[in-house]
Amino acid sequence: MLGWVSGSKEAAEAAGALLTHLAAQESERKALAGEVLQLYREVRLIDQLSEELTAVLQVPGACETALAHARRLIPDSAGGILVRSRQVGELAWAAQFGEVSQLPEPQSERLAGAMERGLGEIVNAGEATNTASLIFAPLRAKQRSVGLIVMADGAGLSYTAANLKLLNTIALQIAAAIKNSYLCAANGGDRAVSGRTDGDSARTGNGAHDSAFAGAEDFSAVSAPDRF
């Protein structure tokens, strides 16, 4: 209740209805302003992340940069990025932060399923046996999953579809940066040239780079490190 109106019954009801309507309109305007501000923050974050990743050629550095940006808009108490190693073929942490005990094991069935499906997922606290809320998205390019970005919150927060949408966009940026890193290593340290479109995809600027990548099972087949 916002307040009350006193007076005759008819006048009070009319004034109350008008004030209720005006209050609802103001609430809608504030909600819309908040949504626009959040969208602006997300677009700016992706733009900044894309620019910074072009200057990072090492996988751990790219992953740490991406996690730092993700934490600005996605609540968390822990997080990390898993990348598949070339020799072993299993997922390994390329970067982590926070209460890492809240993160799932790299070889867990849940993460393996996300890798296979190529789809992000939300598992909030209380679901299954989770004590912390989890959100994760696969790192994909050329229809391949080469890793995952995982974030957790142990304070009981429930992640939303909006959080997952943002994380998926960040995951695409990381995947492009990892591809560039591997291609650079495959070409003897020369920088792989990439161009991003709408903040969520990347193409190499050299046909030879594309063909080298197209023949691999995943990024890790293109001079991926044995470990991080």
Convert the pLDDT of each residue in 172-205 to its tens digit: 999 988 888 877 777 765 544 444 434 444 333 3
- How confident is the model at residue 159, as a pLDDT? 94
Q: φ, ψ for residue 29 (rounded to 5)?
A: -65, -40
Spatial distance between the Cα atoms of 222 and 216, rounded to a whole number of angstroms? 7
Q: φ, ψ for residue 8 (rounded to 5)?
A: -65, 155
Conformation bin of residue 156: beta by default, left when phi > 0, alpha when psi is -120 to 50:
left
Domain annotation for the chain: domains and CATH numbers? 39-221 (3.30.450.40)
Spatial distance between the Cα atoms of 133 and 151, rounded to a whole number of angstroms? 8
Tokens encoding 116: 């296979």
Q: What is the mean pLDDT of the chain?
A: 76
- How confident is the model at residue 1, as a pLDDT? 62
Tokens encoding 61: 């550095």
Highest-confidence segment of 160-169, 173-182, 201-210: 160-169
Helix axis angle for 207-214 and 161-186, nearest 10°, is 110
Q: φ, ψ for residue 201 (rounded to 5)?
A: -150, 165
Decide: helix, strand or coil at residue 190: coil
More confident residue, 88 or 163: 163
Band of pLDDT at residue 227, cut at 50, 70 and 90: very low
* Residue with tokens 């594309």, as numbered in its chain: 210
The whole-model pTM stands at: 0.67
Tokens encoding 77: 């108490």
Query: Is the Cβ–Cβ distance between 193 and 201 less than 8 Å?
Result: no
- How confident is the model at residue 152, as a pLDDT? 94
Q: φ, ψ for residue 79 (rounded to 5)?
A: -175, 170
Spatial distance between the Cα atoms of 42 and 164, rounded to a whole number of angstroms? 12
Question: Each residue of 93-150: pLDDT tens digit?
Answer: 999 999 999 999 998 988 988 888 899 999 987 776 667 899 999 998 777 888 999 9
Question: Each residue of 31-72: pLDDT tens digit?
Answer: 666 666 667 777 787 888 888 888 888 889 999 999 999 998
- How confident is the model at residue 170, as a pLDDT? 93
